[in-house]
Structure 1
Amino acid sequence: MSSMLSHNKDQPRIRKSLSDSSPTATTATTKSLRHERLSRLSSSGSSDVSNDTSTNHADSYVLRWENRLSARKKAEETANNDYKKMYEKALATNQRLKSKLETSNQELAMIQDQLQRTQGRPGDCSSNMLETEKKESWSLKKRISDMEEQLKVKAELKMENQRLKDENGALIRVITKLSK
């Protein structure tokens, strides 16, 4: 027993003070647990070795629990910060895209306005082009009508040519019969 007592006395107790832990871990529950633990330690005294070792185990359990709790809270804070950063980034992207869309819409409106102005007002170039197109169209129509008349004449000439060939063939037959 004396070796256990000296062994326990030789080991220094590792405790975190309130200043070492994170501010989020210091809650009312944690403070009340520490207060109860300290009051049990002071009332039991250091003469009972078995009670002292169980207190050490309880202290280490409470410390581990507090460490896990503080680590979990830090992870939650980090996750919340990440979500906040992601939200801010998405918000900035949306604002940038909205401004881009607005400028594109303004450019589109300007281009449409210019198009309407150029189509609505008769310019020198467009009227000259219309006149030349009308002249070309008229000349093409005239050429087409001339060609149609030429085709009619050709058809009549072919028919006349065929009639003359038939007559020529008949005359040749009559001449050959008379010459025999």
Structure 2
Amino acid sequence: MSSLYSRSKDLSSRSRKSLSDSPPSSPSYSTKTFRQDRASRSDSSGVESPSDRLSARTSTYTRRENRLASLSKTEDDSASKDYKKLYEDALTENEKLKSRLEDGKQELTKIRSQLDRVTQRQDRISERSTVFESEKRVYVIII
């Protein structure tokens, strides 16, 4: 009991260092590069001209439109090819499944016929045993 008390006492006596005790940190690398990028984008006065903004918007808009147009063309071409390929794949898979189903049906028929033969054999054996028992009784009665 005393060992538990002394250990908990040790833990409670420890203190944490608060954030105010630590020295002030310097700006991170990402903050510095962000500021440098912002400064390099603007001209020496720090203000962009309206014509620069307009040309930037226009070029951005044009690039976006071109990108979307090329994507839609690619999608149209690939979509028709994909549907044809998907259809062919589905037909192939369908044929494989049909053949597996047919194999399963044949195996089921084979197993049923084996089961019928075994059942008939068991019936014959049970009939023979009953006939044998009755003959045995008759023989015992005669003797």
The question of a shared fold, defined as TM-score above 0.5 by the shorter chain, is answered with no
Q: Which has the larger radius of gyration?
A: 1
Higher relative contact order (CA 8 A, sep 6+): 1
What range describes the TM-score normalised by the shorter chain of this pair? 0.3 to 0.5
